[in-house]
């Protein structure tokens, strides 16, 4: 017969289904009569369940690294571009606003014209930023292709 210590040492193998049949029988016999070992088994299974999501089948390391760095890079770049674009749009629009400030303050200019001018300014700022983005993106892609060759 197994004693407590032997049983508790073999619980991980038992749970993993890697214990020889003879030992399984002995272990189960002990469990039937021993509450503290049953409790131990219970605890071990709970822990296994909690850890299960952390050790899903490992894909090859290379794939895994590429996957995560790919996701991370994409997120980082997207955030970078978002902040850059937002900042550039705000600055360009502010510059444009300063240019037409006098006209906007002029009470003789109809409000519709003022709105029109503001929309043109906003549109120009966004277009400029998207052109700059495109230029930078293309240059980066070309450099990448050179590296790959």
Q: Which of 34, 117, 118, 124 touches Zn ion (CB under 5 A)?
A: 34
Q: Under the criterion CB under 5 A, does residue 4 sit at the interface with Zn ion?
A: yes
Binds Zn ion (CB under 5 A): choice among 19, 27, 37, 129? 37
Question: According to the binding rule CB under 5 A, does residue 100 interact with Zn ion?
Answer: no
Which CB atom, from 39 or from 138, has the smaller least distance to Zn ion?
39
Considering beta carbons, is residue 4 or 45 the nearer one to Zn ion?
4
Cβ proximity to Zn ion, 24 vs 34, nearer residue: 34
Of 28-36, 58-66, 118-126, 134-142, which part binds Zn ion (CB under 5 A)?
28-36
Q: What is the Rg, in whole angstroms, of the alpha carbon atoms belonging to the chain?
A: 34
Q: Which residues contact 113 (CB under 8 A, 6 or more apart)?
A: none
User: Would you tell me which residues interact with Zn ion (CB under 5 A)?
Assistant: 4, 34, 37
């Amino acid at each position: 017969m197994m004693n407590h210590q032997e049983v508790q040492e073999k619980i991980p193998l038992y749970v993993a289904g890697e214990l020889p049949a003879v030992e399984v029988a002995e272990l189960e016999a002990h469990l039937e009569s021993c509450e503290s070992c049953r409790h131990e088994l219970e605890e071990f299974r709970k822990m296994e369940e909690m850890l299960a999501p952390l050790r899903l089948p490992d894909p090859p390391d290379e794939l895994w690294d590429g996957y995560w760095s790919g996701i991370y890079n994409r997120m980082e770049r997207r955030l970078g571009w978002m902040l850059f674009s937002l900042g550039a749009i705000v600055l360009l629009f502010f510059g444009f606003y300063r240019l037409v400030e006098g006209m906007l303050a002029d009470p003789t200019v109809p409000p519709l014209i003022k709105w029109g001018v503001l929309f043109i300014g906003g549109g120009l700022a966004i277009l400029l930023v998207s052109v700059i983005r495109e230029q930078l993106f293309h240059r980066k892609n070309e450099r990448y292709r050179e590296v790959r060759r």
